[in-house]
Amino acid sequence: MTSTPPDPGFDPKHFADTLGLFGHAAHLGLRYAGQGADWVELAIAHDPRLVGNTETGVLASGPIIALMDMATSLAVWLRIGRFVPQVTLDMRIDYLRPAAPGRDVIGRGECYRITRQIAFVRGQAHDGDPDDPVAHVTGTFMFTPDPPPARSGGEDGR
């Protein structure tokens, strides 16, 4: 039996299963769904409380933004190989089609470029078929030099 070398890299599943998905992510029911060399997938289960249109039962767009923000964020850390404090600078989302009512939505985030201060990301959300996405996102994250101060009236967290 060969010994497994210690992996110093970032583990999105461990992060998502433990401390990563608290607060709002937990409130939405986000969970780890998969990863590749340069991407991370999170999933959001269909939940009637997250519906944005009661007539159609279609998921609201807010939860999809949160899903893609988290999935692309994890993809940055996966690429760097460790957790680095960062904040979302901007995110654009194109709604390609409504997610099918009752289906889980899977968000795949990818980080395609990292500079000293900025990480560039993109991603797609789908509800079963990755070739038929429901949404497409692009965005940037900015690394924070230090953990932001928690006191009020201080710096603005970046």
Partner 1 sequence: MSYDLPPYAAHLGVIVERDEESGGPLVRMPPGPHLLGRPDFLHGGAIAGLLEISAIVALFHALGREERPRVKPINVTIDFMRGGRVRDTFAAGTVTRIGTRVANVEAHAWQEDRARPIAAARMNLLLARDGGL
Instruction: Give the residues lining the site for partner 1 (CB under 8 A).
Output: 22-28, 48-54, 59-63, 65-67, 69-70, 87-95, 98, 148, 150, 152, 156-158
Phi, psi of 29 (to 5 degrees): 80, 30
In angstroms, give the least distance from the CB of 81 to partner 1. Answer: 20
Q: How far apart are CA 50 and CA 46, in angstroms?
A: 8
In angstroms, give the least distance from the CB of 140 to partner 1. Answer: 10
Please name the amino acid found at residue 117. Answer: Q
In angstroms, give the least distance from the CB of 13 to partner 1. Answer: 19
78 or 137, CB closer to partner 1?
137
11 or 88, CB closer to partner 1?
88
Q: How far is CA 73 from CA 11, 69, 97, in A?
A: 13, 6, 24
Q: How far is CA 134 from the centre of its chain?
A: 15
